[in-house]
Copies of this chain bind each other. A is one copy, B any other.
Amino acid sequence: MSNQHDRARQFHELHHRKRLLVLPNAWDVPSARVFEDSGFPAVATSSAGMLVSLGFPDGESIGRKEFVNATERIVRVVSIPVSADIVAGFGRTPGAVATTARGIIATGAVGVNLEDLDGESGRLFPIQAQVKKIQALQTLAESLGIPFVVNARTDAFRHGPGGERARFQEAIRRGIAYRDAGADCLYPMGLVDPESIGEFVRSVEWPTNVMIRPGVPSIRELERLGVARLSFGPSASYAVMGLLKRASKALLQDGNFDALVDGAITFDELNALAVPKRIRRARSK
């Protein structure tokens, strides 16, 4: 447990440095291991990437147990801190959300993403209901003695009521409420332009997560705006499927398979991604 405690502290500190934390989201074992090998200081899971890889649309379409198992496969093979996207917590009550988080933290993960969109109705959960869930996660962290990082996502800017400005203000209002409830990082989904991102960060005065997507400011600009964390979201899955589409088209239309061969890793390299780096090192001695 002390090891996990240290990883949780380590992950926490990565949100309070001058440099932006770039956090890659993996969806399976080898994607997580490539990110670790590449030198990222931590790795997250992407719910969309992971669920689609298993044949479930994004959301809580998968059973909690199978979801926790998929997260565990990733946590088991990497040594760096892992943060798990738990969608809206697989349950409507603070107790149900805490139960999901307990299962996730038991895998060795040291962070969770919790969103405030009700996948069933397509509307936001009431702000107070979400606050209670975040408080329940803090209570869990204290009872476990593992200060795991809670990244509280709000979909207010995309799914809240009213016009664009009203939805933006609601995202800030929720950000502040989630911060006060104990969230360690805030994740306003859908903000892309530097003005909105900057205004959000100045308003909440708290570590803020932005997702990589077309049009998002450069890393230097995000650092200037005070953003603490830049996550991939499902973008690596989007890129990978884009590559498969291009490779398929080149093969079927032109009989060309260069896209499968150029810049590819080898069998031994792929196989090594199935096992923890520390084991590989020990074995190669």
Contact = CB atoms under 8 A, between A and B. Distances in A.
Interface string A219-260: 110000000000010111111111111111101100101011
Interface stretch (A21-29, A89-97, A117-125, A141-149): A21-29
A244 B31 CA distance: 7
Secondary structure call for the A interface: helix
Interface size class of A (residues with CB under 8 A): 35 or more
Interface string A142-162: 000000000000000000000
A55 B76 contact: yes
B220 A255 contact: yes
Contact of A77 (B55, B73, B269): B55
B263 A40 contact: no
B271 A48 contact: yes
Interface of A: 22, 24, 28-31, 34-35, 37-40, 48-49, 51-58, 73-74, 76-77, 212-214, 218-220, 232, 234-249, 251-252, 255, 257, 259-267, 269-271, 273-275
